[in-house]
Homo-oligomer: A and B are copies of this chain.
């Protein structure tokens, strides 16, 4: 099927740190050699990606001097030029170095907080230079293991200060960049600040520069809190704050697995792709940005496996897109949606122009409502879900 071959229009992107992961984990040493950024760029391009993303220290080591940094960047840019891959998103590593052990923007140590902001600014300039439109903030070290060791309200003050300072910088420089916060509930910290899509959305609503700050939700991160990722994405869209997305797979509440997209909760992935691709007002895309894979090729894989896993992400996305299209096109599905009243929810509860007084005067809404009749309605949700299963499994195709 031709539609399962990725094209630039699919907007698939990968982080350098994903396929480049050497497979060190908390209990084991690396199983794979280091990959040069340029090597990654070439292979991703060949496989159909349109973009590549990075943390500063994916391209040059922490503490590089200017010359070394420039040289690393030059090699990376060359690969971009050779392949036509773009850099839709850039981010900062504010978690690997020991200096960030108690956080970056919210470390109890002010020197760390100042250093962190400086580190971001330096990389923002690079992001702008490379044409990135989104700058991601994953605050993996912003949090605590011990409840009394972190003043959460002060930490949120500092988090806000950092984001607003950096947003101000972006505006001052005239950069065409928006920020995207990536929530995560825990790991590496016991409890991370802004643990879910919801907490981050709430936080954003308090920012001075909230106009350029949105979200970069990740499948596995929400599922680590047992939350429904599709629901979270829908709420992010509803707030107009889905600026970027991290696709991967997670099998339930446990450590952060970063599996290939779809290799976790497949049903929820199906609903997610359906929403992203066909949830727009006109049945088109509800989100038009990069489909960014933030995953890790399992430690058991060699480089052949790494590259096959990269392709697997894109292919699974395209499979789900195809199945969702068939689902939406099936008249039985349309009928089931009608029975379930799914689209009826778009109708406002009060009629156009109806006042509260009008509602109170409408005895049919309360005093005279045939409660038993309304209560006895069957919503047919199981049947609708079974249709989804049958499309997802291709039985209904």
Contacts and interface: CB of A to CB of B under 8 A. Distances in A.
A284 interface: no
A150 B225 CA distance: 21
Interface string A34-49: 0000000000000000
Given A257-B145, A383-B308, A397-B394, A344 B31 contact: no
A158 interface: yes
Interface residues of A, number: 171
A365 B115 contact: yes
Contacts of A2: none
A165 B201 CA distance: 23
A352 interface: no
Contacts of A234: 152-153, 156
Contacts of A264: 267
A256 interface: yes
A130 interface: no
Contacts of A110: 344, 347, 349
B202 A349 contact: no
A315 B153 CA distance: 28
B319 A1 contact: no
Contacts of A267: 147, 263-264, 266
A320 B305 CA distance: 27
Contacts of A347: 110
Contacts of A366: 114-115, 118-119, 122
A187 B151 contact: no
Contact of A101 (B28, B114, B341): B28
Given A149-B381, A266-B389, 16 more contacts: A26-B26, A99-B375, A147-B267, A148-B384, A150-B342, A154-B343, A201-B205, A224-B226, A225-B227, A252-B252, A252-B265, A254-B254, A266-B267, A266-B392, A298-B381, A319-B395
A23 B381 CA distance: 15
A77 to B, nearest CB: 24
Contact of A393 (B297, B385, B392): B392
Interface string A250-274: 0111111101101111111011001
Contacts of A315: 386, 390
- Top 9 A-B pairs, shortest CB-CB distance: A394-B394, A302-B378, A198-B199, A198-B198, A108-B341, A201-B202, A147-B271, A152-B234, A205-B205
Contact of A382 (B169, B187, B309): B309
